[in-house]
Structure 1
Amino acid sequence: MGTDAHRAAAAGQGPIPIALVTVSDSRTEDTDTNGIWLRERIEAAGHVVSGYRLVRDEPDEVRTAVDALVADARIVLVNGGTGISRRDTTYDALSAMLEKTLPGFGELFRLLSFEQVGAAAMLSRATAGTYRGSVVVSTPGSPKAVALAWEKLLEPELAHLAWELAR
């Protein structure tokens, strides 16, 4: 079965439950533009937001949020905390949790990001993988990065990602 056949089989599975986690030391639910934007895009695509958390960039808070959300989500989208500053710990928290990594996500994200921001794309530690029956995707917290990941990588493959987990 090729990729096109996989996508065709995946298309019939119905709305996908997707959870959101924004990692930020400064945003509130009212100022979480990424969370608001992603919620709108998820619902416009016919899927369901199964949960939402806004947490500080603390490894325990990131892990706790993902642990709480995977039970009801096929996909967990985490944004923020993927850089290299002292406070950026999302990658470190998630990479220790992931059961199977999807290195292609980070590679493709950085390639596409390079077209937008040049060599600064190498500072991103965007990552993805599986955890307890869900796909967990982690992107930088800039609105442009979130939009890039959603529009170019995630939305086109959501059904396929969710379907592969259930096979």
Structure 2
Amino acid sequence: MSESSAQHKAIAKARGPVRIAIVTASDTRTPQTDTNYHYLKPEIEALGHQIVGYRIVKDEPDQVAQALEEMVEAGAQIILFNGGTGIAPRDTTYDVLARRIEKPMPGFGELFRMLSYAEVGAAAMLSRAMAGTYRQKVVFSMPGSPNAVRVAWEKLIKPELEHLAWEVAR
């Protein structure tokens, strides 16, 4: 890690807990069966961060857009969407979020697909995982499979969480 990256991470960590929201786009999951939320919640809390919003929405454009606005209004600095990133007709989460992203972070999707390729092979190209900023928040959109959420969280989001929250707001 470069000296400036280390400095940025130290400054960001000193700013205190990051406020995070989780949105699951699914036609079938419930709060009881949302394995991604049940994985992410203790991961986030173990780091001392706060969950300021949680929703399960149908993968319908109006519901996805409304959830994004609600999580911004709830004060989330980082918003984690899972589900709706594929190419099936019902997968609309990517399309809704892509229209609202102000500054895309293409590296997230590229790295996510690279990591996925190592695990699932060529099927990784079907993922439209993406990230970017919206109204000074960082928005991540990842596939809804538990393994995809774990890979995105552990390999990409968690290591940069505080740094992302600091960078987007400074």
TM-score normalised by the shorter chain: which range applies? over 0.9
TM-score, length-scaled by structure 2: 0.96
TM-score, length-scaled by structure 1: 0.98
Identical pairs, percent? 60
**2:89 is aligned with 1:86:** yes
Q: What is the identity, as a one-letter code, of the residue corresponding to 2:27? A: D
Q: Which runs of 4+ in 1 moved over 4 A?
A: none
* Equivalent position to 2:44, from 42, 45, 69: 42
Alignment check: 8 A CA contact 1:22 1:53 kept: yes
Question: How much does 1:101 deviate?
Answer: 0.5
**2:131 is aligned with 1:113:** no
**2:60 is aligned with 1:58:** yes
Report the secondary structure of 1:64's partner residue. helix
Equivalent pairs counted in the alignment come to 167
Report the secondary structure of 1:96's partner residue. helix
Q: What is the identity, as a one-letter code, of the residue corresponding to 2:169? A: A
Counterparts of 1:49 and 1:30, CA distance in 2:
17
For residues 20-63 of structure 1, what are the alpha-carbon distances to aligned partners after superposition, in whole Å with 9 as ceiling and x for unaligned?
A: 00000011111111011111111011100000010000011001
Unaligned stretches of 5+ residues in structure 2: none
Counterparts of 2:86 and 2:111, CA distance in 1:
17
RMSD value over aligned CA atoms? 0.9
Unaligned stretches of 5+ residues in structure 1: none
Counterparts of 1:91 and 1:53, CA distance in 2:
17
Q: What is the identity, as a one-letter code, of the residue corresponding to 2:146? A: P
Q: What is the identity, as a one-letter code, of the residue corresponding to 1:146? A: V
Question: How much does 1:99 deviate?
Answer: 0.6
Question: How much does 1:2 deviate?
Answer: 2.2
